Structure 1
Amino acid sequence: MKRLLLFILLSVFCLSLPLSAKAEGLRFGVPPWPGVTVKSEVVCQILEAMGYKTSQLEIGPPIIYKGLTTDDVDAFLAGWIPQQNEMFLPLKEKKAIDVVAINVDEAGTSLCVPTYVWEAGVRSIADLAAHAEKFDSTIYSIEIGSGMQVSTEDMIANNVAGLGGWNQISSTTPVMLSAVQERIRGKKWVVFHGWQPHWMNFQLDMKYLEGVPGTEKLVSNSVVYTVVSNDFAKRYPQPYAFLKKFYVSGAVQSEWINDFGFKKIAPEKVASDWIVANLDTVGEWLEGVTAADGSAGIDAVRSRFAN
């Protein structure tokens, strides 16, 4: 019960965190996910090198999407689709947000189990209900209000694959994975939210479960969009031009996630080390983009990071 209470308290805290009144410059909404944490840090360090002030608001997706329409958030680098469709599509259809570009297209999500559970016969979401007792009728999920959490809640509410009556323990990604790792160390059965790119795919011996009718919102191949406020391009034309070209492979983002989320290297260092080692790639993103003082953007970045 104490562990469950901790999960709930952490989740509520992350979702209720107010937008900072002191936020300055280009304000990026950053959920507590390792991938978007480092990705946002890379973008912000590049923009800072070009003379633009940035700030990172550690808030959940529902608040970010609302903030994009109320002048509280300027940009979001983690528009996971279709998992966030319920938040994303209404705003897109109303043209309340500007969908800039895909920044990662090698992504996917599902429910996952340890390989020893998969080898015992649990290979589809349809197999879970028959082993409810071993799983404690519990699914470990990421934070309340996220696309994956909402989709799983709908599956439970609609008794998809016999999951009606199951519980969902929702938390931040690090807390969820810590609980999953603890159960794996004890060779216990556990089912949890999994996605790629992420360090879990390198560090956990795990398998993705096949979907069944009714799980389409959760089990899918995904793309990740850069989303900005409607007036972003007018206010920040050069950063906007940069974000139009900003793209990373799933392998690169997994590398970032592994360094930060698993090795516990500070995201600021992960980002700066990567930029130093990949200035040619940064140059491709900044082709034709100028710094705040009118100089070539890549020259400003090289000047900051080359030494």
Structure 2
Amino acid sequence: MMQKLMAAAAATALTALGPLAIAGDKGEVELAYVEWSSEVASTNLVKAVLEDMGYDVKITPVSAAAMWQAVGTGDVDGIVAAWLPTTHKHYLEKVADRVDDLGPNLDGTRIGLVVPAYVEIESIDALNAAADKFDGKIIGIDPGAGLMSKTEQVIKDYGLTDMDLVEGTGPIMTAVLGDAIEDNEWVVVTGWTPHWMFAKYDLEYLDDPKGIYGGKEQIHTIVRKGLKDDMPEVYAVLDNFSWTPEQMAELMIWNQEKRSDPYANAERWIEENAALVESWKP
């Protein structure tokens, strides 16, 4: 009798504690992402939400091409980092019949060439004439990013023969930008919104008369075929996940603090936005 009472009490305690008490018991979820500050924020946030619900979540940073390939082959369950309809259009076309597009999780994004506000040109077609002031360089990010392929097209279509696109990473790009601003030097970088650098620095997009970068975009959630049947609760959370650029920017700024942990910040953000997070759950 005593053993039965103790078992019943333990079960009651687990129920009272909720999903945190059985974290990892519901199975493993795998998500991929590109190491843009926006996607670091969103992917860690989704990981924290699902782990609070009892899942074991693995997140893997990869190139954009590898991210799309992984969800297309079913090697990962999903991504919350699909920039559409322009930036990642060519990646989606390759896997469209093998994935489910759950729609936007964030509305109002943008990509393009970005300069400090003190730079005295306003349009991409003025870059050649000012190439010397930029040291002939456009500071880019990882070579597999859709933003980079669009920038290569920009260089070709605008005839920017005096400008070279420099490959790197998001952190390298922002470090170069910050150093240039500190020295009041001219610099042009591949940029996107939302990004914490727009909160820290006074920046402007260069006009794109040819419209190569497109207009405002959205960030979509993409999942592998079959996820809805295999893990309906996970599918529901990913389908419901949606927030604003302002909400994302708050988390991104926290992530830029020294010795800051994106996952710990995501948990803090969940605590401070509990009602919104609850609306994502089935």
Query: For 1:225, which of 220, 223, 228 is the aligned residue?
Result: 220
Give 2:208's aligned amino acid. Answer: G
- Structure 1 runs of 4+ with >6 Å offset: none
**Candidates 194, 207, 211, aligned match of 1:210:** 207
TM-score (norm 2): 0.86
Q: Which residue does the alignment assign to 1:115?
A: 117
Alpha-carbon distance between aligned partners in 1 of 2:179 and 2:140, rounded to the nearest angstrom: 15
Aligned to 1:79: 82
Partner secondary structure for residue 133 of structure 2: coil
**Counterpart residue type for residue 183 of structure 1:** A
Say which of 257, 263, 270 aligns to 2:265.
270
Contact 2:29 2:57 in 1 (8 A): yes
Q: Is the alpha carbon distance of 1:129 and 1:262 closer, same or farther for their aligned partners in structure 2, counting shifts above 3 Å?
A: farther
Query: CA offsets, 1:46-78, max 9 Å, x none?
Result: 111111121011111101111112232111111
- Matched with 2:57 is 54
- Which segments of 5 or more consecutive residues in structure 1 lack a partner in the other structure? 1-23, 290-307
Which of 183, 186, 190 is the matching residue for 1:189?
Answer: 186
Contact 1:68 1:75 in 2 (8 A): yes
Correspondence 1:151 to 2:154: no
Distance 1:161 1:153 in 2: 10
What letter matches 1:68 in structure 2? Answer: V
- Superposed CA deviations along residues 237-261 of structure 1, whole A, max 9, x for unmatched, are 1111111111010001111111103
Shift of 1:165: 4.7
Can you list the C-alpha shifts for 1:111-155, whole angstroms capped at 9, x where unaligned?
A: 0111110xx2x1111111110111122101111110100111122
Q: Residues 262 and 142 of structure 1: is their aligned pair in 2 closer, same or farther, counting only changes over 3 Å?
A: farther
Distance 1:206 1:50 in 2: 40
**How large is the RMSD of aligned CA atoms in angstroms?**
1.5
Distance in 2 (CA, whole Å) between partners of 1:144 and 1:282 is 34
What does residue range 235-274 of structure 1 map to in structure 2 within 5 Å? 235-262=230-257, 265-274=260-269
Distance of 1:203 and 1:219 partners within structure 2: 25
Q: Give the deviation of 1:101 after TM superposition.
A: 2.0
Show the counterpart of 1:296: none
Write the mapping of 1:30-69 to structure 2, written as runs, cut at 5 A: 30-69=33-72
Please tell me whether the aligned partners of residues 79 and 227 of structure 1 are also in contact (alpha carbons under 8 angstroms): yes
**Structure 1 residue 197 displacement after superposition:** 0.9
Tell me, which stretches of 5 or more residues in structure 2 are unaligned?
1-26
- Partner Cα distance (2:177, 2:246) in 1: 23
Partner of residue 138, structure 1? 137
Q: Distance in 2 between matches of 1:181 and 1:89?
A: 36
Do the aligned partners of 2:128 and 2:162 also contact (CA within 8 Å) in 1? no
> How high is the sequence identity, in percent, across the aligned residues?
27
Assess if the C-alpha contact under 8 Å between 1:161 and 1:212 holds in 2.
no
Q: Describe the shift of the 1:263–1:106 C-alpha distance in structure 2 as closer, same or farther (beyond 3 A).
A: farther
Kindly indicate whether residue 86 of structure 2 is the aligned counterpart of residue 89 of structure 1.
no
Q: Give the C-alpha shift of residue 262 in structure 1.
A: 4.8
Counterpart residue identity of residue 221, structure 2: T
Distance 2:160 2:256 in 1: 30
Q: What count of residue pairs does the alignment treat as equivalent? A: 255
Q: Which protein shows a greater Rg?
A: 2
Q: What is the alpha-carbon distance in structure 1 between the residues aligned to residue 150 and residue 262 of structure 2?
A: 29
How far apart are 1:220 and its partner, in Å? 2.5
Deviations for 1:87-119, whole angstroms, at most 9, x for unmatched residues? 123322xx12111121000211110111110xx
AA paired with 2:93?
A: L
